[in-house]
Chain A
Amino acid sequence: MEAFDLLMTGFDTLLTPTRIGFMMLGIILGLLVGVLPGVGGTTGVAILLPVTVFFEPVSALVMLAGIYWGSMYGGLITSILFGVPGNPWSVAVMFDGRPLAKQGKAGLAMSTGFWVSFFGAIIASVLFTFFAVPFAEMALRFGPPEMFAVLMIAFGTFIGMGGSPGKALIMIAAGFLLSTVGLDVVTGQPRLTFGTIELMRGFHFVPITIGLFGIGEVLANAAERYKVQIEDVTRAAKLGMHDITAGARAVFSNIGLASSSAVLGFITGILPGAGATPASFMAYGFAQKISKHPEKFGKGAIEGVIAPEAANNAAGTGAILPMLVLGIPGSPTAAILMAGVFMWGFIPGPRLFTEQPEFVWSFIASLYLANIAALLICLTATPLLAMMLRTPYAIMAPLIVVLSLIGAYAIQNAFLDVWLAVIFGVIGFILRRMDYPLAPLIVALVLGFSTEEALRQSLIMSDGSMAIFFQRPLSAPIMVVALLLFMLPLFRMFLRRYRRRQQASTGE
């Protein structure tokens, strides 16, 4: 149990009033920036990075990491309450969290989210503590073809998700189309920008998500003449601690789903350049695939809260691992933390573990403490947060719109994004009315760029041969699984037809 002893020395190093103080400060700041849409944990960490240059390294690292963990918890609050994601990785939790809130179960959705975030983070921390090096070695074996195969699995899980497959396909195509705007991955030339410089930055998915969900829903509610609000007031009325225990029970009764989502999230987080956002979508897709009642997804299934939240918190933890062990940042936030590590005078990599064990292990110890602290703070705040929904909708709606527009602007400091949020708000309203699913569009938009990049990188490596995906020892099995996932709805359809025909023939 060498790792265990080291962890204990880590706790020893960490447990000084200053360091714990900085950690708590980080968590609280993280919760706050997590709540503000558009200002995710990444921005929060970036803002405070210069300040930490002159800190003692352990305090600096645990504070910045605290912001990261805090924001992972805070992001789900606005997603569930208003349908405005506080963080990119809080988009998936919105798909079912928001419907739950509309049914008056906001408290339950949030406390479940917090509990499962904690659960996911702790699973990931344990994996981190005991298997850091082997997992990091695994990450190195993932090149572009492997990344492409993993992304194909992500899409595979979304095939046949709710509603008409035709409509889902249209939405996926629209998402891909939007993701191609900007500079071409390989030639660096502008695509679909119509000669404008504004469009060269491409479509960021956050303003579009804010528009489709946040503003789109305000419009939809307005059209339904406050029906929703009346329901909210009557149902949100019963407050109290029981939501918190109910949340814990919900996690316990889905412990299998929570654990597998956490492991899935952790592994996705480790992969270079993937991070928490794809992890949350993949976990959501999987949860729906293996669910006994997939039709409830998108309408307020608690599994739809559990899976993405377990996955994104585990992925957030996982993304730090290759950064410390190999110097490969698994996510943008990890990239900023890595810059910090350099600034504090260390070089990330295997040698960090042997040369600076105190630094590394006190950070690992902080994973545990920070998550316990974040959970306690969040659970205490849950009833208060849920009470916000008792505010009359006439007051709430303009606040949501303002919050949405600020969030859209903040992500890239671009005014075009504000217009995008408004335009996609209207589009979202219309699509909702026509019963088009919005989730596939967001997934394609989020993963579209990485998918295209991985595909084209792989094809450059193989001089254009698709065989590369099936020739490499790691990508081949992943690709086969992905293909099976794509075929699954077809198989099911044939099976159903076959049975029907049999029934018909025996009936005759």
Chain B
Amino acid sequence: MNRERHVARAGIGIGPSLCLAAGLSLGAAMAPSNALAQWQPERPIEFVIQTSPGGGSDIYTRLWLGIIEKYELSPVPLTPVNMPGGAGAVALTYLYGQDGDPHYLTPTLNSIVTTPLQQKLPVMYTSEDLTPVAMMTTDPFLLWVNPEKYKTWEEFHAACKENRLTATGTGARQEDEIQIGLIQEAAGCEPFRYVPQSGGGVVASNVAGGHSDFNVNQPAEALPHFPDKLIPLVVFAKDRHPASPDTPTHWELEIGTENDNEYAKLLDLETGLHQVRGLIGPPNMPEDAKAWYDELFKKVFDSAEWQEFMKTNGMLGTYKGSDGYKEFLVTFEDNHVRMMRDVFGWELRDDLRERTGG
């Protein structure tokens, strides 16, 4: 991957040898001064990306890398390596193989939870079998429709009780399909038809073009079509979304509030199933390495660029370090098992470990 890096460096007008020299001297300069974190990376850190270039987590990763380079936050280069395949299966397995070596990281999508629960990978529960490193953002889900079809949740709700509606989303048996199934259960709709797509942009255009009735999505992909071809009807969070203050929350609309808020909690941003983006490392990552990464990614999170990017994309920023992210993931996984296996009746891997409290 060195070659790719050199191309990148050449792009900003710094020769590869110069950059290498700069990297080395910087590393030497930083090592003694940084007494707080005992661990320092000794060689380039490999970012194992689970999609092809241009996929969701790829884009986030490259932005983080840009920020790290700009502020010279790392003494060693961080190199992105794309390992697409099997909805994250290939990347997770590779990461699992780097036991104890902190020079590997994988940016996460929700498939780090959904894929190992369904496929027989060496990883089963990411929170236990790998090392959660940092959580960078949560994307709130909103329900989007074409305004020519429905203008309010009430209209939508009436229609979905009468007929089977067609939903679309990214991937098969992944977060979008889970969220859509959850809405069906919570609102008591006729079973939705689910049309899986392989790319995010196509999902929005299928609803905007009228080929599907609705989708659930974070605001970014829908914004280009807003407000002529796509409008949000519901935001699945405690509070209204700053980017769309007129859209009611599912709590206001009392979606899934029966049985002691059973489904409403699962739909909610904080306690439920949402798109979460963060970073994980190989199993048994040493504590001081976790601390080093914690410091690094907190700085990335606080950078003006990342804050600005989250704002433009309508994401909600919550940073969690290694322990906080792990705690979050445990609940997240348990919720997934419950929905996927117990409510939807999907077949999970047959060797699934039972967890207490799940």
Q: Footprint of B on A, CB under 8 Å?
A: 25, 29, 32-33, 39, 42-54, 63, 139-144, 182-190, 195, 197-198, 200-202, 272-273, 322-323, 326-329, 332-333, 335-336, 338-339, 342-343, 345, 347-350, 412-414, 453, 457, 460-461, 463
Contact = CB atoms under 8 A, between A and B. Distances in A.
Contacts of B86: 182-183, 190, 197, 200-201
Contacts of A272: 199, 201-202, 205
Contacts of A54: 66, 70, 305
A141 B4 CA distance: 39
A63 B80 CA distance: 21
B63 A53 contact: yes
Interface in B276-323: 305, 308-309, 312-313
Contact of A413 (B69, B81, B196, B209): B81
Given A50-B69, A51-B66, A186-B196, A200 B90 contact: yes
**Interface SS majority for chain A:** helix
Interface in B1-46: 1, 4-5, 7-8, 10-12
A43 B1 CA distance: 12
Given A50-B63, A198-B90, A329 B199 contact: yes
B11 A51 contact: yes
Contact of B205 (A48, A140, A188, A463): A140
A20 to B, nearest CB: 15
A44 B205 contact: no
Nearest to A142: B209
A188 B221 contact: no
B343 interface: no
A184 B119 CA distance: 13
Contacts of A190: 86, 119
Nearest to B84: A412
Contacts of A47: 4-5, 7-8, 11, 80
A326 B12 contact: no
Contacts of B212: 143, 461
The 10 closest A-B CB pairs, nearest first, are A201-B85, A327-B224, A200-B86, A50-B66, A143-B211, A349-B224, A46-B53, A188-B173, A188-B172, A140-B209
Interface residues of B, number: 71
A54 to B, nearest CB: 6
Nearest to A143: B211
Contacts of B201: 272, 323, 327-329, 335, 338
Interface string B183-210: 0000000000111111101101110111
A197 B12 CA distance: 38
Contacts of A338: 201
Nearest to A450: B198
A53 B172 contact: no
A318 to B, nearest CB: 15
B54 A183 contact: no
A347 B85 contact: no
B247 interface: no
Contacts, number: 202
A39 B4 contact: yes
A460 B309 contact: no
Contacts of B330: none
B120 interface: yes
27 contacts: A46-B58, A47-B7, A48-B7, A49-B62, A50-B8, A50-B62, A50-B65, A54-B70, A143-B209, A144-B206, A197-B89, A201-B85, A273-B199, A323-B201, A326-B208, A327-B201, A329-B54, A329-B199, A335-B54, A336-B53, A339-B63, A347-B312, A348-B224, A349-B225, A413-B1, A453-B197, A457-B196
Given A50-B62, A272-B202, A336-B59, 18 more contacts: A29-B11, A46-B53, A50-B63, A141-B209, A144-B195, A182-B86, A186-B196, A188-B87, A201-B84, A327-B225, A328-B202, A335-B199, A342-B309, A342-B312, A345-B308, A413-B1, A414-B83, A461-B193
Task: Name which of A140, A328, A345 has the most chain B CB atoms within 10 A of its CB.
Answer: A328
B272 interface: no
A181 to B, nearest CB: 11
A293 B53 CA distance: 41
Contacts of A273: 198-199, 202
Task: Name which of B62, B210, B313 has the most chain A CB atoms within 10 A of its CB.
Answer: B62
Given A140-B208, A332-B52, A414 B85 contact: yes
B73 interface: no
B352 interface: no
A6 B253 CA distance: 47
Contact of A197 (B10, B121, B211): B121
A184 B173 CA distance: 10
A138 to B, nearest CB: 10
B59 to A, nearest CB: 4
Contacts of B82: 43, 412-413
Given A185-B196, A200-B85, A343 B309 contact: yes
A44 B11 CA distance: 11
A349 B196 contact: no
Contacts of A336: 53-54, 58-59
Nearest to B305: A53
Given A140-B208, A188-B171, A336-B59, A43 B4 contact: yes
B76 interface: no
A403 to B, nearest CB: 13
A48 B9 CA distance: 9
Nearest to A412: B84
A326 B224 contact: yes
B70 to A, nearest CB: 6
A440 B308 CA distance: 48
Interface string B98-121: 000000000000000000001111
Contacts of A51: 8, 11-12, 66, 69
A85 B1 CA distance: 20
B220 interface: yes
